A and B are shown apart, each in its own frame.
Chain A
């Protein structure tokens, strides 16, 4: 049997990779990909906890469904923003969108 710790370890590794991607990447879409990795790591965590600790309950599954819905909404709005920003600035790099920089 796979111990719960294995799932949590995998989830932590994916979260770290996603955090690195969200912080280190240049293009806005690549940052979004890193964010999605983090969401998925959290989702895996939620489902693993549900299965190993309370498989008869529904809280874990409902939590996971809400995470899915929030991630979907966030990606939709984020990509709409990305396209609007691309139209305005002609570029998709997070470094070049620097109007507020002092």
Chain B
């Protein structure tokens, strides 16, 4: 069977899970697509996923309220062994990429990380993935009877739910103790559309000048067009913006229809988080900024002049 570890939040199945189901079905690997739901009070998640897979396993336990790499990897490896899964698919989220290596070691399996394609070739799994800060596409082959893969979000088309729900089974788990104690949490909050799901992203770099400049230019433009807001590492390190808005090697990876970069020079670490965007728009006063090399549209000019003029132009309609 193909085991999919369901990603969910606030009682709903995440888009990344539907993408994993497509990856599973299009891989050419045989056997039922089985969803594993881990969490507590996850009945709604289990019912939702039951409309789109062949089997559902649910571990609804208070110990699973809070994610933990050791608990999650133990649960997934146990279910994969007992169900004789030959393929284990995990989301390419921060947590998925953190616990999946432990699953691979437990199962003595190879790990395909953050894949953008997945195809069976006579029992061998072949995948493509981005490497070298997302500048190279590499093709790799995973050998062995069991393969673990994390699926890069935003690549596969989300699977459409059917109308018939499959039966749900309770998973009986033997969980290890929790060793990493979480003592506090800072949650991301935004009134705007989520960065990973936005069709248009407006991003700001040092060139916006100040936190106030970011609010006026980047948030101002984003609100005018209903876009999500993003920032560079430099801006986040300066404390102007929260980490949740950071795009790049150490932040989020996005691929919207349009990425509008305001006052961003285009360091390779930042580009690795957005260089797959359909259209890249750059506004920067420095004509030699690397961002212009990958821009579809752009203006070489003062962001303090150009962006307010754009906002005004948009309001005219």
A complexed with B: no
